[in-house]
Amino acid sequence: MAAVAALGLTATLSGCGGSESGDVTLKLVAADYGNSAANNSKKYWAGLVKGFEASHPGIKVDVSVYSWKDVDRKVADMVKKGQAPDIAQIGAYADYAKAGKLYRADEMLSIPTQANFLPHLADAGSVDRTQYGLPFVASTRLLFYNKKFFAQAGLDAPKTWDDIRNDAAVLDQRGVTYPLALPLGPEESQAEAMMWLLSGGGGYIGDVGSYEIDSVENVKTFDWLKTNLVDKGLVGPVAPGKLDRGKAFDAFTRGKVGMLNGHPTLMQEAEKKGVSVGMVPLPGIDGPTKGSMGVADWIMGFKQRGHRVETGKFLDYLFTDKNVIDFADEYDLLPVTDSASAAMESDPEYKPLRKFLAALPNSEFYPVGKTSWARVNESIKENIGNAFAPNESPESVLGKIAQDARAAEEAE
């Protein structure tokens, strides 16, 4: 999800005076969103803990910060050893909820705090209609385009799939390396695929909550991409299944890409390097897609150490507008609460994020409330790029992933 950079560093933060002086010490494990020592997430947590401890005598907080490549495994190991933290800010919650290891949201949070989450995010944090995962930070996706290329070619921002095809053909004729970058390599292909499936009226989950990865709509979407973009050589010199998101983003910031799906961090990086970025909702068959793809990371409270009340007080403090906005602002991400979102939308400082903020309430999220999602996610990343390989077809590849998804769902 979301803006992630692995430093592989661990830092432990504790409040002034040491944890021994408090009646309760909460143990919190969190992910590092920074991409350098200067913006390591431990600085955010240090400031937040200092403020919390000053206003909540008797509660201390020790925070361990790990890189994204390590944090989920660290928490899993702690839980396996019977040493679960009180609070974990990681990428997934459903397995722990299913195993009965987490507090429900309503067991920890005040009513105003729980009611303040954006509804789609609260739903995404639920298992069997009960919320266990608290959204920590979010991001949405829009179609980015190089405004200089479009202006030079006399093109308007695309609104439909046909616009994308026609614009890509013009950009190709003008020598743009990647008229449309289509990164379906294993790095984060589940996101790229989901964006296109949503734009075609499909998605990973059907109306009854089961996987429908090889639905008629999804097959039609990938058939269109293959016929109109891939087979016509409009996606650049690297096959979609070999192109990772990071390489596509880097090419965009170097002025080598006409169009691609992007998030707020890419917008900032591109503009720092002099690329003028246009952003529109992902075009659909007949017009702009009404819902965007959203990504969220999660924070949760574990039962093992029995600190339900103290955990709730800390989380209520964490989700105040200032703390939510401070973190989102530091890492070019989006807030997860109604009030913080409204505050950012009305603040001129955050004008560049308004299109992303506007897309968030109607965004669709990965089905993270299903414990089968981890297996399905891996199957998508491993296989989806093959849909455009010379000896494969979208229907057969989506069918294989759908078979894996059904097997994983039956094992839930």
**pLDDT at res. 361:** 87
The verdict on residue 2 lying in a domain is no
User: Same structural domain for residues 319 and 216?
Assistant: no
The whole-angstrom separation of Cα 254 and Cα 172 is 17
Residue 209 gets which letter from DSSP? S
The verdict on residue 210 lying in a domain is yes
Identify the segments of the chain with pLDDT beneath 50: 1-22
CA terminus-to-terminus distance, the chain: 23
User: Same structural domain for residues 398 and 345?
Assistant: no
Please say which residue of 365, 381, 402 terminates a domain.
365
63 is in which domain, residue-wise? 11-139+294-365
The whole-angstrom separation of Cα 360 and Cα 362 is 6
User: Same structural domain for residues 250 and 172?
Assistant: yes
Question: How far does CA 32 lie from the centroid of its chain?
Answer: 15
The whole-angstrom separation of Cα 215 and Cα 211 is 9
User: Same structural domain for residues 323 and 276?
Assistant: no
**pLDDT at res. 1:** 42
User: In this structure, are residues 92 and 296 in contact, taking their beta carbons and an 8 Å threshold?
Assistant: no
User: Same structural domain for residues 128 and 148?
Assistant: no
According to DSSP, the β-strands at 24-31 and 11-13 are: unpaired
Q: Choose among 64, 61, 93, 63: nearest CA to 76.
A: 93
User: Same structural domain for residues 247 and 376?
Assistant: yes
User: Same structural domain for residues 96 and 158?
Assistant: no
The whole-angstrom separation of Cα 4 and Cα 348 is 26
Q: Choose among 89, 25, 12, 11: nearest CA to 53.
A: 25
The verdict on residue 146 lying in a domain is yes
**pLDDT at res. 146:** 98
Give the domain CATH number at 325. Answer: 3.40.190.10
According to DSSP, the β-strands at 24-31 and 59-66 are: parallel
**pLDDT at res. 25:** 97
User: Same structural domain for residues 175 and 226?
Assistant: yes
Q: Choose among 255, 261, 260, 262: nearest CA to 276.
A: 255
The verdict on residue 306 lying in a domain is yes
Spell out the residues 6+ positions from residue 396 whose beta carbon is closer than 8 angstroms to its own. none
**pLDDT tens readout for residues 223-258:** 999 999 999 999 999 999 999 999 999 999 999 999
User: In this structure, are residues 18 and 45 in contact, taking their beta carbons and an 8 Å threshold?
Assistant: no
The whole-angstrom separation of Cα 9 and Cα 65 is 8
- Give the CB-side neighbour count of residue 245, counting CA atoms within 13 A: 19
User: Same structural domain for residues 213 and 261?
Assistant: yes
Joined together, the tokens standing for residue 221 give 């979407």
Length of the chain equals: 412
Helices (H), 81-144: 94-98, 105-108, 111-115, 119-124
The verdict on residue 201 lying in a domain is yes
**pLDDT tens readout for residues 10-47:** 344 443 333 344 489 999 999 999 877 888 999 999 99
Instruction: For 266-301, give the DSSP string.
Output: HHHHHHHTT--EEEEPPBBSSSB-SS-EEEEEEEEE
The whole-angstrom separation of Cα 148 and Cα 273 is 13
User: Same structural domain for residues 192 and 254?
Assistant: yes
User: In this structure, are residues 217 and 271 in contact, taking their beta carbons and an 8 Å threshold?
Assistant: no
The verdict on residue 99 lying in a domain is yes
Instruction: For 144-171, give the DSSP string.
Output: EEEHHHHHHHTPPPP-BHHHHHHHHHHH
**pLDDT at res. 292:** 85
The verdict on residue 124 lying in a domain is yes
Counted domains in the chain = 2
Cα dihedral 29→379→265→151 (10° resolution): 180
The whole-angstrom separation of Cα 53 and Cα 143 is 43
**pLDDT at res. 290:** 85
User: Same structural domain for residues 393 and 245?
Assistant: yes
The whole-angstrom separation of Cα 222 and Cα 299 is 34
The verdict on residue 340 lying in a domain is yes
The whole-angstrom separation of Cα 328 and Cα 336 is 9
User: Same structural domain for residues 204 and 76?
Assistant: no
Contacts 24+ apart (CB under 8 A), 20-25: 21/60, 22/53, 22/58, 22/59, 22/60, 23/58, 23/59, 24/58, 24/59, 24/60, 24/307, 24/310, 25/59, 25/60, 25/61, 25/62
